[in-house]
Amino acid sequence: MDILERHFQKSYYLFGSRPSLAEFGLFGQLTQLAYDPTPLSIMRKEAPSVAAWVSFLDDASGAEEGVWIDPHDSLPEAVMEFLQITGDIYFPFLLANNNAFKKGEDTFSLILMGKPYTQRVFKYQVKCLKWLREEYAELAGEVKERVDSALKETGCWEPLQS
């Protein structure tokens, strides 16, 4: 929420002046919070720009107009921060789940954010890692070089090497 609050104070979109699939993915998750009175009151207090953004994107009609950021520009700070979270938390989680699945274990444990974490193995997360690796493998040329730079900087590159 803090990352989005800072970003939405400057721009309502992550990759330019129109929404991407990323915005609609975030919207789907945040909508759940924005309609429940308790998290909505917290969101309005702690991240008012995020609360306003959820309402704004709820009616994104006509939002197909706009431009993407220049492909040679640096990625927005918010995108890099989300990639860092992915490298620090999500990929270690996916890899631990995947390793436990391969070994036929029922649960796995690891340290996330300095705290112990244990969960049952989920086949869906095994598929998620597989899909991410497959999509990454499809990249080529200048796009791959640009993506690799951001992924390496945030700890996301190595987990995608299968």
89-110 pLDDT, tens digit each: 999 999 999 999 999 999 999 9
Is 69 among the domain residues? no
Which residues form the domain of 147?
77-160
128 part of a folded domain: yes
Co-location of 101 and 41 in the same domain? no
Report pTM.
0.90
- Is residue 89 domain-resident? yes
pLDDT (tens digit, 9 = 90+) per residue, 12-62? 899 999 889 899 999 999 999 988 999 999 999 999 999 999 988 888 766
Q: Establish if 64 belongs to a structural domain.
A: no
User: Are residue 48 and residue 88 in the same domain, yes or no?
Assistant: no
Q: Which of 30, 58, 86 is the last residue of a domain?
A: 58
Q: Is 94 found in the same domain as 147?
A: yes
Q: Scan for tokens 């993915």, then name that residue.
A: 25
Same domain, 86 and 18: no
Q: Are residues 156 and 85 in the same domain?
A: yes
How many domains does the structure of the chain reveal? 2
